[in-house]
Amino acid sequence: MSAAAGRPVAIHQFIATLNPHDATGTHALKLREALRAAGWRSEIFAEAIHDDLAAEAHKHWTYPEHAAEGDVAVYQFTTSSAVAGYLAERGLPLILDFHNYTGPEYFAGWEPQSVRRATAAAEELARLAPRARLGLAKSPFSEATLRRAGCRHITVVPVLADYGRVTASPDPRVAAELARLRAAGGADILFVGRVVPSKRQHDLVKALWAYRRLYDPRARLHLVGGTASYEYSKSLHGFIADLGLAAAVRVTGEVSDAALAAHFEVADVYLSLSAHEGFGVPLVEAMVAGVPVVTRGAGAVADTVADAALVLAAGDHAYVAAALHRACTDERLRGILRQAGRLRSRRIAADAAPRIVGAIERAVAEAA
């Protein structure tokens, strides 16, 4: 029951896939919590639901069993999904919570299936954006994408994330393993993200190769995150082996929150050379954890980090290696980046949920 509207209205969320460890899944769960705390009836409907979250959501096609007059749909847009067509056909008042999507060009030559899906995502966005009453963009970069797609009313609000997970108790087994590696000397460079072409983990490997050759022959790179591209992952492993870096690059796959915390605890620097980011939650996590950030300013990255990171104009390995060297050894720079990072992350996280709920409530009130 919404006091603001004066009649029963539910604000339900729709999402392609509800996963426990990804940014969109976490955002959806936290938004539901915030909506319920504000007095709204709110459920999550998904095309696919991770087993661990089976009790948290419903299949999207069961929505009619929960439907009521005056319902509003918030669609968590990240990729192509049957949910988009479902919402377009039902004609519910729509709020587009836009996390951006990775364009087909990033998968071309790697994953034909992903190319098709990304192309379909662009078409679905073009279909839904003009009829959305409100677009919630995660960055000015995404705002521009949403506007080009035809969305007329847009508010920029941050992602709701569990940033505290990176400063929680680290997994003791992982921490011990990382400590053992660290005892051999050399810097620990961290990147967190799915192993996919758009994240350009192979550029990180090139940068490590140059950094070891020029500055720190014992440096290590930790690539944390599951893979969504078998071909890219396979090529990455072959590349690592060709460069003789098999012992220096750890590709961990998906890890628990506690294992993630162990990686942030040991990292000297967080390095991202991603070619596309709709927001970049791990960048903020690095800032929360007090790890200096070196990054390419692609997509929304420059908006997310603002002045709290070394934002590189180019991604070639020599340039990145030199930046890594400064970020790992210049204590004054490290101090500045840590302090700026903590301030920036606090600013991003501050009142995020009330701001989003407020924006949604205003849109609902205007529509009523």
Partner 1 sequence: MDHTDTDATPTGAHGAPEDPKAYVEQVMAEIAEEVRLRRSSGDLPPKLERELDELFLAHSPVAGRGGDLGEALRMVDAATFIDPVVPVESERAAGQFVKKGMRSLLLWYVGWVTHQMSQSASAVSRALHIVDERLTELERRVEVQRVPDAGVIEFPSLHGPDSWWVEPAVASLAKAPGRVLHAACGDGWLVRRIVAAGGDAYGVDPRPRQVDVPGSGPSDLREAAVVDHLRAVAPAALGGIVLSATVEGMAGGERAQLLAAVGTRLAPGGTFVVHSVSRTSWDAADAPAETDLAPGRPLRPEAWCRLLEDSGYQAEARQGPGGNDFLVVATRDAVTAPYAPSGR
Q: Which two tokens stand for residue 162?
A: 């569990």
- Given the complex with partner 1, which of 65 and 331 has the nearer CB atom? 331
Spell out the residues 6+ positions from residue 276 whose beta carbon is closer than 8 angstroms to its own: 100, 102, 103, 106, 198, 298, 299
Work out whether 366 is an interface residue with partner 1 (CB under 8 A). no
- Total residues contacting partner 1 (rule CB under 8 A)? 56
Work out whether 27 is an interface residue with partner 1 (CB under 8 A). no
Spell out the residues 6+ positions from residue 105 whose beta carbon is closer than 8 angstroms to its own: none
- Given the complex with partner 1, which of 158 and 315 has the nearer CB atom? 315
Nearest to 201 by CA among 247, 244, 237: 237
- Under a CB-based contact definition with an 8 Å cutoff, are residues 159 and 23 in contact? yes
* From candidates 123, 242, 351, 366, binder to partner 1 by CB under 8 A: 242
Element (H, E) at 18: strand 11-18
Q: Find the shortest distance in angstroms from Cβ 252 to partner 1.
A: 17
Distance of alpha carbon 344 from alpha carbon 341, whole angstroms: 5
* From candidates 14, 40, 209, 211, binder to partner 1 by CB under 8 A: 209
Work out whether 319 is an interface residue with partner 1 (CB under 8 A). yes
User: Which residue has 């290696």 as its token pair?
Assistant: 321
Work out whether 188 is an interface residue with partner 1 (CB under 8 A). yes
Work out whether 251 is an interface residue with partner 1 (CB under 8 A). no
How many C-alpha atoms does 174 have within 13 Å on its Cβ side?
20
Using the contact rule CB under 8 A, the part of the chain among 26-34, 66-74, 94-102, 230-238 near partner 1 is 230-238
Identify the sign of the CA torsion 118, 142, 267, 173.
Answer: negative
Looking at residue 54, the DSSP 8-state letter turns out to be T
Work out whether 245 is an interface residue with partner 1 (CB under 8 A). no
Task: Spell out, one character per residue from 272 to 301, where the chain touches partner 1: x when CB under 8 A holds, - when not.
Answer: ---xx------------xxx----x-x---
Work out whether 338 is an interface residue with partner 1 (CB under 8 A). yes
Residue ranges in 29-68 that form contacts with partner 1 under rule CB under 8 A: none
Work out whether 260 is an interface residue with partner 1 (CB under 8 A). no
Phi/psi at 105 (5° precision):
-60, -25
Identify the sign of the CA torsion 136, 348, 49, 357.
Answer: negative
Q: Find the shortest distance in angstroms from Cβ 109 to partner 1.
A: 3
Residue ranges in 99-118 that form contacts with partner 1 under rule CB under 8 A: 105, 109-110
Bridge partners of residue 293, in order along the sequence: 270
Looking at residue 5, the DSSP 8-state letter turns out to be T
Quick check: helix, strand or coil at residue 291?
A: coil
- Under a CB-based contact definition with an 8 Å cutoff, are residues 272 and 195 in contact? no
- Under a CB-based contact definition with an 8 Å cutoff, are residues 52 and 25 in contact? no
Using the contact rule CB under 8 A, the part of the chain among 48-56, 68-76, 266-274, 360-368 near partner 1 is 266-274
- Given the complex with partner 1, which of 55 and 184 has the nearer CB atom? 184
* From candidates 143, 216, 268, 277, binder to partner 1 by CB under 8 A: 268
Residues lying near partner 1 in the complex (CB under 8 A) are found at 105, 109-110, 144, 188, 200, 202, 206, 209-210, 214, 231-232, 234-236, 238-239, 242-243, 265-268, 275-276, 289-291, 296, 298, 307, 310, 313-319, 322-323, 325-326, 330-340, 342
